[in-house]
Chain A
Amino acid sequence: MPTLVRQVEGKIYDSRFDDLNGWIEEEDLPPLWAQASYTALAGDPFYSSPYSLLALTKSPANAGNVSAGQYLRRKRTVTVPSGLTSVRMQVRNRWVHAPSTMGFARRVRLGDSLFLDGQVGDEQNVWLWKNDVVNTSAGEKDLRVGVEAYTTVYEVQDNTQYHWFDDIVVCRSGSIKVTNLASGYKAKLFDASDALIVEATESGGIATLDVSNASYPITGRFKIYDGGNNLVHTSELSTDIYGGDEYLYGESYSIAVETDNYIINRQGASSPTSATITFTLKDEDGDPAVGKTINFMTSHGTVNPSSGVTGGDGKTSTTLTATTMGIAVVKGEWPGTDLYPRIYVTIEVSVHRDADSPDGDKEYDIWIQGRKIWDCAVIRVSDNPAEDITELEIPYIDVDVKGLYDFAIYRYGTKLFFGRIEVLTKRIAPTPAMKLEGRSMIQALMRTPIESAVFTNATLKSIIEQIHSQFLAPFKQVLLGTISQHLENISVTLSETDQTAYDLLSKVAALGAATVSVDADRKMHVR
């Protein structure tokens, strides 16, 4: 599945002035001015909640005049990445005087470059927005935010001027690039309400989106359209999109899993008591990803080792064992890199108490997760082409019987039914009882998703075999049984999306007037 991965982060620095960590105050006002003036977080007003940065200048009595160039501000260091000769900066700013105007300008500087020079001609008590390109160079630069006297500021006792700053951003540029696009592809950026912000068609494989007038960070999502204007990818909603971001559109890594056993027995019981789970990692080109660490986890029992490094074939394995019966969901996760997102896959292994040991003399014998059920009041098995449903009523409440456990019914030692518990009802009154209901393993076909599958001029038999080997065989829940020979005589071309394995198999089978079934040995038959 293609993804959009940010390769270059546009953000260089961003602060909403909700704290002043890393910002130090610097001022060279005359001593009495310095005592009465200050910079601090302000709770009112702010552009973005809860604070803004306030630079307050106040003229005490007998303070003398402030000379042009003297300042009161906060400073911190930001690092401009190599290769840049300019950046885009944004800041919200606001001012008001009380009672009369002072000759202080709101100024923001990056290194030697002056970005904001807000003087007294600006409207008071409204948030103003400065958004512009600033020439600079790579390396550490001082970012200064505050006020500077642009002319002599005369002493007027208790005269005060307020200057606020909020939402300062330094980023690489005013555009976003989406790379690796095929001819005619478009990249569009939508806001959270799905309104289009900007779009661009690729040129040389790169779509350049002009976001120079947008306020950063942008909250939105990207959509990629092919040359026929069909939507081919929608990214997750992101709240940190900045000018200068660069995204790579392409295939991500993929991970697959297979097991050698769907059913194992608890340790100490009869063989098999372990399952070898193998994970295969492939890169964006579909080649084995070598030397990558996969982390293993399980919801039941233990996996050993807990992580593995992929070999030359992209594969690595772990072994599952458990001391008690249950359902183990084993997960293999590749944590990803800056370039590629984390991916994971899961597989189910059913841990039985022991192998079933049906009594050949008994008319009916019930085993749940490898454990014998000694008393069963009602057994109802309905067998029909679509699904086999079995109901059991047990005249007591067995706390060890849980949902999704396997259960098997034997008649004189021959297995009649195998399936999983899907509905579990406990009844207390008038007497305690349990009722179980489950389908044969055909339900595994019904919950196996097939995102897309294409078969070109293939026989129905080979299509069925391919569906089984690709989507079902790795999990070992449903084994391949009989496929009627006559299905080899019919060839079709099929392209399907968003189907379950059952729906797709049924569709293929119907083309040859056959039906799909799964028997008590978990074998799938199409005949």
Chain B
Amino acid sequence: MATFKEGENCHVMEYTTDYRDLATVLKLRGGENESGAQIVVIVSDEDAIKTYGKRMKVASEPQWTTLVLCQLRALQLLANYSKPAISISLDARAEVLHVGDSAQVLSSNMELDDSFTVQSVVYEYGPGGRMTVELTNRAVTLSDILATIERQLERR
């Protein structure tokens, strides 16, 4: 796992905490099971509730037609929503990184010592090669990757 230490091989350009999607209780409405009954799953994160209170989010994903899959999906969604979304932009010394990789970030200025997922990397080749890395604490989904590709295409 790559490690970025502020002042040694990177500078933290931006550190954003986003509370807009925060949810500590998630209700997922799935599809219909074999009996034709709609699957509904409610999951909660007790630790997050202690900090942020009960905040419910209702989601609907009819592709889940078994209770187990619906429950697993609900837990996956809740794991994403039960903490504020953090995004970090780093100006770093170039090294090989891929979207989805984990990276450790240490910054005394931002009181940071945590691992994040690489959301995008932009390399600048040349003497003393550099890169701009965007990191997140959220799982990188296919839609994130598509959004990144779209941004890249727009820049051309």
With a 10 A CB-CB cut-off, give which of A190, A331, A423 has the most chain B CB atoms: A423
Interface residues of A in 328-356 (CB under 8 A from B): 329, 331, 345-348
Q: Chain B nearest CB: distance from A375 CB in Å?
A: 20
User: Does B149 sit within 8 A of A, measured CB to CB?
Assistant: no
Q: Is A124 part of the binding interface, using a Cβ–Cβ cutoff of 8 Å?
A: no
Residue in B closest to A500 when the chains form the complex, CB atoms: B58
- Assess A423 versus B18: contact at CB under 8 Å? Given A231-B37, A447-B55: yes
Q: A190-B67, A428-B11, A429-B11 are in contact. Are A299 and B50 (CB under 8 A)?
A: yes
Q: Are B18 and A329 in contact (CB under 8 A)?
A: no
Check B109 against A428 for contact (C-beta < 8 Å). Answer: yes
**In the assembled complex, which residues on chain B have CB atoms less than 8 Å from the CB atom of A424?**
16-18
Known A423-B17, A429-B11; contact A231-B38, beta-carbon cutoff 8 A:
yes
A423-B14 in contact (CB<8A): no
Q: A425-B14, A429-B13 are in contact. Are A194 and B58 (CB under 8 A)?
A: no
Least CB distance from B21 to A in Å reads: 9
Confirm or deny: A225 has a beta carbon within 8 angstroms of a beta carbon on chain B.
Answer: yes
Q: Is A193 an interface residue (CB 8 A)?
A: yes
A122 interface residue per 8 A CB criterion: no
* Distance between B28 CB and nearest chain A CB, rounded to angstroms: 11
Is there a chain B Cβ closer than 8 Å to A130's Cβ? no
A229 neighbours in B (Cβ, 8 Å): 35-37
A195-219 contact mask (Cβ, 8 Å, vs B): 1 or 0: 0100000000000000000000000
A404 at the interface (CB under 8 A from B): yes
Question: Are A192 and B68 closer than 8 Å at their CB atoms?
Answer: yes
> Which residue of chain B lies nearest to A443 when distances are taken between CB atoms in the complex?
B20
Chain A interface SS verdict (over half)? strand
Interface band, chain B:
35 or more
- CB–CB A221/B67 < 8 A: yes
* Least Cβ–Cβ distance between A39 and chain B, in angstroms: 40
| A498: interface (CB < 8 Å) | yes
Docked complex: B39-61 residues within 8 A CB-CB of A: 39-41, 49-56, 58
**Does any Cβ of A come within 8 Å of B110's Cβ?**
yes
Q: Within the complex, which residue of B29, B49, B56 is in contact with A449, where a contact is CB–CB below 8 Å?
A: B56
Closest to B60 in A: A498
* Contact A193–B49 (Cβ < 8 Å): no
CA distance A404 to B51 in the complex (A): 11
| B50 A331 Cβ-Cβ under 8 A | yes
A35 to B: closest C-beta gap in Å: 52
Per the bound structure, the CA–CA distance linking A424 and B14 in Å amounts to 10
Q: What is the bound-complex CA distance between A449 and B126, given in angstroms?
A: 54
Chain B residues with CB under 8 Å of A299's CB are: 50-51
Write the nearest CB–CB distance from A295 to chain B, whole angstroms: 13
Report chain B residues within 8 Å CB of A193.
66, 68
Would A422 and B19 count as touching, CB distance under 8 A? yes
Q: Does B52 lie within 8 Å of A329, measured CB to CB?
A: yes
Q: Say whether A230 faces chain B, with CB atoms less than 8 Å apart.
A: yes
Q: A404-B19, A426-B16 are in contact. List 6 more A-B contacts (CB 8 A).
A: A193-B66, A229-B37, A234-B40, A347-B53, A422-B18, A423-B19
Which residues on A are within 8 Å of B, measured CB to CB? Answer: 190, 192-194, 196, 221, 223, 225, 229-231, 234, 237, 297, 299, 329, 331, 345-348, 403-404, 421-429, 447, 449, 498
